[in-house]
């Protein structure tokens, strides 16, 4: 893993985290417990702060960043950020699934218990109400998250990644 200080900030992460050998954490990054940052993911807090809650998985190739002097990034608890997603200067509340290859731009707010479908693009300032599914380019609401989707996708993926990361901690 590459953990790099910049502008007087050194990344910090809580107990029981897995950071892959080629993942990168830079600068003003504070991450909670039981998080995982997977292969080739970059969490780059060089230009603004990145605050990550507990039990967050940042999957392979994802990029987390912000905008200098304008847009910090805040990620809640029990969030899954899919492979190759870009999360940039936005707020993601608790229990959210960001699908593979999605792009979340500056000043977006993703409400709790929501899903952003794979490949979706959320332009600057998009507000996703809690409990909704957004998809497309640009992303629009396609439906509400029902209890089956909540349990079958959001909770399942978040929980599975805690299990997956435990396999690497045993090595």
For 122-168, what is each residue's pLDDT tens digit?
A: 999 999 999 999 999 999 999 999 988 888 899 999 999 999 999 99
Answer whether CATH 2.30.30.100 is correct for domain 2-169.
Answer: no
Q: Determine if the peptide bond prior to 159 is cis (ω within 30°).
A: no
Q: Return the domain boundaries, the chain.
A: 2-169
Q: 124-131 contacts: CB < 8 A, separation 24 or more?
A: 130/93
Q: Is the pLDDT of residue 73 over 90?
A: yes
Per-residue pLDDT, averaged over 59-81, amounts to 97
Which residue did the predictor score with more confidence, 9 or 149? Answer: 9
* The pLDDT of residue 171: 57
Per-residue pLDDT, averaged over 17-46, amounts to 98
Mean pLDDT, the chain, as a whole number? 96
- pTM beyond 0.85: the answer is yes
Q: Is the pLDDT of residue 85 over 70?
A: yes
Per-residue pLDDT, averaged over 13-22, amounts to 96
Per-residue pLDDT, averaged over 19-48, amounts to 98
* The pLDDT of residue 150: 87
- The 10 Å Cβ neighbour count of residue 8 is 7
Which of 11-20, 64-73, 101-110, 162-171 is least confident? 162-171
Q: Mind listing the pLDDT tens digit for each residue in 91-135? A: 999 999 999 999 999 999 999 999 999 999 999 999 999 999 999
The shares of helix, strand and coil residues in the chain, as percent rounded to the nearest 5, are: 15, 40, 45
């Amino acid at each position: 893993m590459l953990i790099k200080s910049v502008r007087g900030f050194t990344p910090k992460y809580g107990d029981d985290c897995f950071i892959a050998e080629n993942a990168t954490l830079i600068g003003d990054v504070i991450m909670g417990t039981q998080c995982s940052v997977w292969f080739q993911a970059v969490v780059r807090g060089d230009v603004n702060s990145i605050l990550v809650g507990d039990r967050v998985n940042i999957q392979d190739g994802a990029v987390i960043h912000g905008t200098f002097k304008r847009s910090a990034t805040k990620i809640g608890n029990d969030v899954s950020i899919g492979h190759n997603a870009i999360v940039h200067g936005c707020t993601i509340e608790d229990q959210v699934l960001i699908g593979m290859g999605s792009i979340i731009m500056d000043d977006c707010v993703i409400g709790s218990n929501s899903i952003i479908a794979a490949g979706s693009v959320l332009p600057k300032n998009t507000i996703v109400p809690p409990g909704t599914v957004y998809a497309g380019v640009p992303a629009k609401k396609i439906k509400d998250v029902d209890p089956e989707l909540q349990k079958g996708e959001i909770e399942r993926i978040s929980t599975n990644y805690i299990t997956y990361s435990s396999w690497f901690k045993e090595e």
